[in-house]
Chains A and B, each alone.
Chain A
Amino acid sequence: MKRILKRKVLMVTLLAISIMLLTSCGTRENKKATGTNTDNAVDVSAPGELPIVKEKIELTIGIPNNANVQNFDTNEYTKWLEEQTNIDLKFDIFPSSGGMDKLQVMLASNSELPDVLIGFQMDDKLFLKYEDQGVFLALNDYIEEHGYWIKEMFEKTMVKDVKKYMRSANGKFYWMPYLVEQEGNVWAGKAWINKVWLDKLGLEVPTTTEEFRTVLKAFKTKDPNGNGKNDELGFTGSKNGWHQKAYDFLISSFIYNDHNNFYIVNEDGKADVAYDKDEWKEAMKYMNSLVQEDLFDLQSFTQDSSALKALAQNPDYNILGAFASGSPDALFSANRERLGEYVAIPPLKGPKGVAWAYKQPMMPRCYGVITKYCENPVAAFKLMDFMLSEESALRGRYGVPEKDWKYATENDICIFENIGRKALVVPILPYGAPQNSHWQSLHPTFRSAEISDGMAWNGDPLDGEYIKAKAITAYKDKAPEKIVSKLLFNIEESEEFYSLETSISAYVKEHIAMFITGRKNLENDWNDYIKELHNMGLDRYKELLQIGYERFEKGE
């Protein structure tokens, strides 16, 4: 009987192996012949004219997966594009996390790529790296000869130097832009304070750093939440939330803070860094003094966004007096009434009268490129050019007209009314849930301010977007005129610069924590800190920084 059992196992194994062999084999049909040979390219229409091609062609689009897009092939937006342009769209789906890594591997191993890559935020360095192989096509000529909607965008947009942002270090344009004019996200360095507590204690919203200290002290000692315990927290934030670092907000009362690598433009008009300046030292001193009076929450260095959220939703008694956050509504999702207790703190005036607001300049981002494997590059360009039209912007973001959204009427109030916008669109389809009407807006597009800030208000005063919108006035236009928004490097410069930056940045961030917590003393250790920065190559770093800044600003 053991024999029979053995034979059965053998049969099952053989069967399993055969099934496996049958189902595993079979790669997809070979792609059409590749090469930079575009002799077979079909004729295209004039700029701005639809459909783009008279005889139907096929284009493959490589795009990162999005779990909220149910099916790219049958998607409404896809169908609309195909109808309008007469191009058949096929999709090569990349994983949404790690899609860029996979692309790097494919590039490095000279694998064939799809005709068009959409939705990958590619860096300038990538284009320069593969320039000698011509993997990514330069679009300058296409824009000149065939561009229509992109030229409209260049005219209409509020971004003054939009072309500067799109140019690479070698002067070429490699990508089609994703440009969304959203005022709300420009002024993202917000901080909030509990108005109910202020009123209870008879205090005003602080306008200077010293007033802030007084208010925090009052919060700490006068028990505004009325529970008999001094459990109220000092100024807090989180280590990884969106613009939620507590120290970031306060530094800008002394010197401009770009919330990232601390680039500034100094009085000589040169690109510089903020962290070796006396103003920076003052900022550290101020925050250290807050820490000593327990008015600055040290947990803000270590807790993540979820922990801050848990604090915000502390049951029974609110303990959150003031905190930094670009988007506070996320913290109060389970306890929305509390959100209404807070108002935005305008930039506080430091002892020298400095009160900068953080600004994230509106800029276009790389969202679509054409690879050398495309046989119809002009048609591909015109497709992406078409995506920049207004109708595409509306359909790409909101979905099918009348079904997923409709135009606002006279009666709809705009969320961003306080900065002068009118309501344009009333959304019906919720954004962020699985759907098949659009591609989650992950493609070249131009959403002018009318569209992106034109969402109607649903009348809810506790609505997160509404609250954020109201807060903008506290920060708008309070940034320095000149800031470093982008750097352009060639390959050698970029390697050297970013290697230096990784070490220096880590060192600086570690010392922010050390100076503020008092682990290192500002009187005794400051000079060693500066010396070490120079040892790490700060001078060379600044040289390169200036080179990159200049090249970008010159714009040619």
Chain B
Amino acid sequence: MGKIKKKSIYSSRSDNIFFMIVNSILFIVLVIVLIPMLNIIASSFSSGNAVAAGRVFIWPVDFSLEGYKAVFRNNQVLSGYANTIYYTFFGTLINVIMTVLAAYPLSRSDFYGRNFITFLFTFTMLFSGGIIPNYLLMKDLGLIDTRWAMLLPNAITVYNMIITRTYFQTTIPNELLEASRLDGCSDIKFLILIVMPLSKAIIAVITLYYAVTHWNMFFNAYIYLNRKELFPLQLILRDILLANSIDPSMMTDPVLLKEKQNLTDLLKYSLIIVASLPVWCIYPFVQKYFVQGVMIGSIKG
């Protein structure tokens, strides 16, 4: 955004006050969010004892990698990562293609039946058949215990489709369409050659949304998948957390019980980091697509 040159002649006092207010608000927001997040990160690198005693604030106390060791000690974690990366990559690919294919026609006001079809989509956002019919469907399609079970059922999230449609409606001007028509451009060509390049911002957003959904998904996995080799990361992490929760009614060995007790609290923190770090890293790459000025020159040129 900061492309506005410093027009010292034009920036008035009210502008300066305005910027000051905005910057302060953002600063407060930054602090409110940053402190607890630092606490989580710091806790994950602290010793179990320190976490249990509540001694960690925003910096690790008794630095230790216990929390992470407990996670990676499990040999299923790496396969979980691999599976999740697979599902996220291909799943998001399917998602984005299908979403755009649905959103573009619905954004065109001259699309016959547009309102009806939009309603068809929105209806499914509210009403669903329930677990049993869905399970039966997957069974009949032969998709139980296959990778497709993780990729197909949620191919389109209506929510994301609607925001994509709205974006197309507000940012692709009709003049562009008419101009292209004059050049003899078909709808399909228009979509691929003109609309897509101009919609980098929204595609970046839905890619991010879908990727994160896939990354965090475990419900489909635990209902539809039977083989451990296919389990995604979230499912395995949940299993780890559960396995390390103490059930005090099960008598355990004296020596280990004490270590395990601290581990449960500590694990919750290190699990968040393990599960979220890759996603945190994606965002900066996505963010560069929210660049202003994408539309410049497309009409005037």
Contact = CB atoms under 8 A, between A and B. Distances in A.
User: Is chain B in direct contact with chain A in the complex (CB below 8 A)?
Assistant: yes
Interface string A437-478: 000110000000000100100101001111000000000000
B53 interface: yes
Contacts of B235: 95
A96 B238 contact: yes
Contacts of A465: 251, 254, 257
A315 B53 contact: yes
Contact of B257 (A26, A313, A329): A329
Contacts of B193: 6
B240 A24 contact: no
A518 B145 CA distance: 55
A554 B139 CA distance: 44
Given A98-B222, A109-B132, A330-B248, A431 B240 contact: no
A188 B147 CA distance: 46
B223 interface: yes
A19 to B, nearest CB: 8
B227 A95 contact: no
Interface string B140-160: 001011111001000000000
A308 B148 CA distance: 46
A347 interface: no
A538 B20 CA distance: 64
A327 B248 contact: yes
Contact of A466 (B97, B223, B254): B254
Contacts of A530: none
A460 B253 CA distance: 13
Interface centre among B97, B144, B249 (most CB of A within 10 A): B249
B54 A188 contact: no
Interface in B25-74: 48-50, 52-55, 73-74
Interface in A296-345: 306, 309-310, 313, 315, 326-327, 329-330, 333-336
A184 interface: yes
Nearest to A3: B193
Contact of B222 (A24, A102, A109, A333): A102
Interface string A173-191: 0000000001011001000
A11 interface: no
- For chain A, give the interface size range: 35 or more
A97 B52 contact: no
B256 interface: yes
Interface in A41-70: 65-68, 70
Interface in B123-177: 131-132, 135-136, 139, 142, 144-148, 151
Contacts of B145: 27-28
A70 B147 contact: no
A212 B73 CA distance: 47
A228 interface: no
B135 A97 contact: no
A182 B132 contact: no
Nearest to B255: A430
Contacts of A553: none
Contacts of A20: 90, 93, 151
Main secondary structure of the interface of B (DSSP, over half): helix
B232 to A, nearest CB: 11
A23 interface: yes
Contacts, number: 158
Given A67-B240, A97-B238, A24 B146 contact: yes
B76 interface: yes
Contact of A464 (B55, B76, B257): B257
A27 B90 contact: no
Given A329-B258, A430-B255, A465-B254, A23 B147 contact: yes
B43 to A, nearest CB: 12
A201 interface: no
B279 interface: no
Interface residues of B, number: 61
B246 interface: yes
A536 to B, nearest CB: 30
A95 B75 contact: no
Given A16-B93, A70-B75, A97-B238, A430 B253 contact: yes
A333 B52 contact: yes
A260 interface: no
Interface string A96-121: 11110110011011010000000000
A104 to B, nearest CB: 9
Interface centre among A68, A94, A108 (most CB of B within 10 A): A68
A184 B253 contact: no
A312 B151 CA distance: 48
A13 interface: yes
A33 interface: no
A432 B135 contact: no
Contacts of A452: 251
A464 B257 CA distance: 8
Nearest to A95: B222
Interface in A169-210: 182, 184-185, 188
A393 to B, nearest CB: 14
Closest 7 pairs between A and B when the two form their complex, measured CB to CB: A67-B243, A334-B49, A327-B248, A95-B222, A310-B54, A24-B147, A313-B53
Given A109-B132, A111-B144, A466-B254, 16 more contacts: A16-B90, A20-B90, A23-B86, A26-B146, A93-B226, A93-B228, A108-B132, A182-B251, A315-B55, A333-B48, A333-B52, A430-B256, A431-B253, A431-B256, A432-B252, A434-B75
25 contacts: A6-B192, A23-B86, A24-B146, A28-B145, A65-B228, A67-B76, A67-B239, A68-B243, A70-B75, A96-B242, A109-B132, A109-B135, A185-B251, A329-B258, A330-B246, A333-B48, A333-B52, A333-B258, A430-B253, A432-B257, A433-B256, A434-B74, A455-B253, A464-B254, A465-B254
